[in-house]
Chains A and B, each alone.
Chain A
């Protein structure tokens, strides 16, 4: 079955720096989604990334803080900019990789710790 790969799997970052998370899908998909899971919390949708257009952000998330790229149908990146300890979370990428089914599959996540 198709796979979603994320990297890095985890990282420790310094306050004020930025980190880019990569998401690779081994099949072409129209929409990719980025989620955040803060410690002890559930998953919150950050944005929807469509190839060929700007990402659509959910309420509370802005492009300056979480710029997203979607250069082709198999790849996307999420950057967490100017990080603070409050950005310490797991960031997950997901996509509908099952043809004909409205089912999202998730990557294993990228666990960021900001000191």
Chain B
């Protein structure tokens, strides 16, 4: 059974810092990995999608990497801003097309 773990569970950083969020998964048989953002009381916003054949994706200040063989992904946020404060969720699509979510990292960027 696929299990997705995210570390750390919570993170508080001063504005301007570069930071890394980690995601690991137990079964490397995935179609893709996706990073989402969720603001309090809101729905999911898709940030980056990495197909299983890809190593990384970039969007603005965000960069996500994927090492399928080791079951790891990282989300790198450059020059963090208070507006980046949210919960970040990692999810992998398994061989049954189900999306399995990690428990999330709650990020607070302090002004």
- Residue ranges of A at the interface with B (Cβ–Cβ < 8 Å): 31, 33, 41-45, 48, 92, 94, 96, 102-109
Contacts and interface: CB of A to CB of B under 8 A. Distances in A.
A33 B91 CA distance: 14
- Main SS class of interface, B: strand
A42 B101 contact: yes
Contacts of B100: 45
A44 B96 CA distance: 15
A106 B89 CA distance: 14
A102 B98 CA distance: 10
A112 to B, nearest CB: 14
Contact of B34 (A41, A103, A108): A103
Contacts of A41: 103
Contacts of B103: 41-42
Which 5 pairs between the two chains have the least Cβ-Cβ distance? A43-B101, A102-B31, A108-B43, A42-B101, A42-B103
Contacts, number: 40
B93 interface: yes
Interface in B50-99: 89, 91, 93, 96-99
B50 to A, nearest CB: 11
Contact of A31 (B31, B34, B97, B104): B97
Contacts of B99: 33, 45, 94, 104
Most central of B31, B32, B99, B103 by chain A CB within 10 Å: B99
B44 interface: yes
A45 B89 contact: no
A105 B32 CA distance: 14
A44 B49 contact: no
A102 B96 CA distance: 11
A65 to B, nearest CB: 20
Contacts of B102: 42
B7 to A, nearest CB: 14
